[in-house]
Amino acid sequence: MVRRTLYKNYNVDNPQKSKEIREKTKQTNLDKYGFENVFQNKEIQTRYKETIQKQYRLNITNISQRNIKHFENYNSDYIKEHFIVDGFYDPHLVSEYFGVSWQCAKINKELWGIKEPTKFYSGKSIAETELFESINVENKIHNDRNLINPYELDIVLPDYKIAIEYNGMYWHSDKFRDENYHLNKTLMCKDKGYQLFHIFEFENLEIWKSIINDKLGLNKKIDANDCIISEVSEDLAKYFCTQNSLQCYADSTVILGLYHDNRLMQIMAFKRKGDSYIISNFCTEKGYHIVKGADKLFKYFLEHYKTESVIAYADIRYSDGSEYVNLGFKQIDQTEPNVYSVDDFIMFDCGNLIYLYQR
C-alpha cells in the first residue's frame, strides 16, 4: 500500500519526498546504526525476517504481503505444487493468483526453496500487454524506439500525440534509475509534442485506463449543466477517491460534489491554509468525462467561500496542468521528483507543477 498523507511542515504527502527529511533520516541512521539505511545492517535484516516469519508463520519478508489474495495458500508446499510448470517456476502465475507483484514473486523464490529455473516472458509484462490491447484506437505502436531514440517507449499513439510507459517496480526502482529518469523521458516527449503517461506497477490499472480514455475522448460525456452541486461527506469522499483516483484522499476543509441522477460523478475538495486554499482532491468517476465540471465546481467554490488565492498541484505523470490553466490558474513553480516507497522498492516520479489562482 502506498501512503500519501500530508506532512504539512514540509509541504509533502510522503516523508521520502522531502530532501530535508531524507538527509535527516540518513544522518540519524548513520549515527545510530552506522548505515544510511537500517536495512543495510545484516543483523537488522535477519531479525526483521525472523520476526515477520514467526509472527505470520509464512515465508514472507515484507509485512505488506499480509494483504495478498488466497493468503492461506501462500506457503512453500502450495507454491511448489501449483506453480512449477513444465519444469519452470512461473512467477507470473504466482503474481496473478496471489495479487502480488511479479518482482515479489520472483524474489520469494529463494525463500520457498524452489530450485527450478524461472520462466521469463519476452520483454512485455502481462499488465502492459493487457493495457495495449485495451486501447481502442487503430494506430498504436508497442515498444517504440523512434520517438525519443535511443530510449524505448512502451506504447505510442501517434494520432493523439500520447506516449505511455508501464514502469515495473524492480527495473524502475532507484537500483537502476536515478531520480530524474522518468522526468527526463517526459521532457524528451514534450519536445516532440507528446504527453507521456507514467504508470507504476502497483497502481490501479482500471483507473489508468479511464485517464487514458479520457485523453482519447472515449469516456462517456455528461454535461455539468445537467448536474447539481452538493457538499460531500468525508467518508463518501474517501471511498470515491479510493475507487476513482490514483491519489489517496487528502484531509480537506471543503468537499464539493457534482451529482447526476443522484449519483456522485465528480468531486473537488479544498484544504484551508492560512488565508488561502489548496485543491486537495479532484477526481471523476471512472469511465466518465464531465464537460465543464471543474469549471462549475470551482466557480461555486469562489462564490461561496472567501479567499484571495487558491493553489493547485498537477502530477506530471498524468497531467499537463491544462485543467487548471483553463480555470484561470498560472504556473508558478515545479517540484522535484517525488519519492514512492513500495514494499522494498524506492521509485521516483516526475514531480508536480504548482499553480496559483488569484482574484
> In the predicted model, what is the mean pLDDT of residues 261-285?
96
> In the predicted model, what is the mean pLDDT of residues 207-219?
97
pLDDT of residue 51: 54
pLDDT of residue 212: 98
pLDDT of residue 334: 97
Nearest to 337 by CA among 186, 210, 135: 186
pLDDT of residue 56 exceeding 60, the answer is no
pLDDT of residue 4: 37
- The residue that leads in pLDDT, 350 or 14, is 350
Domain 220-358 has CATH 3.40.630.30: yes
pLDDT of residue 296: 98
- Hey, which residues does 144 pair with through a beta bridge? 153
pLDDT of residue 54 exceeding 60, the answer is no
Lowest mean pLDDT among 103-107, 188-192, 243-247, 271-275: 103-107
Q: What secondary structure does DSSP assign to 88-148, as a single string? A: EE-HHHHHHHHT--HHHHHHTTTTTT--SPBPP-SS--HHHHHHHHH---SS-EEEE-STT
Percent of the chain with pLDDT over 90: 56
Q: State pLDDT tens for residues 102-161.
A: 667 776 787 788 888 776 554 456 788 889 999 999 999 998 999 999 899 999 999 999
Query: Where residue 230 falls among pLDDT bands split at 50, 70, 90?
Result: very high
Nearest to 229 by CA among 294, 277, 287, 322: 294
Query: Where residue 6 falls among pLDDT bands split at 50, 70, 90?
Result: very low
pTM beyond 0.75: no
Q: Where in the chain is the domain with CATH 3.40.960.10?
A: 126-216
Domain 126-216 has CATH 3.40.50.2300: no
Q: Where in the chain is the domain with CATH 3.40.630.30?
A: 220-358
Task: Please return the burial class of 34, using the count of CB atoms within 10 Å of its CB with bins 0-12, 13-18 and 19+.
Answer: exposed
pLDDT of residue 345: 82
Q: State pLDDT tens for residues 165-182.
A: 999 887 888 988 999 999
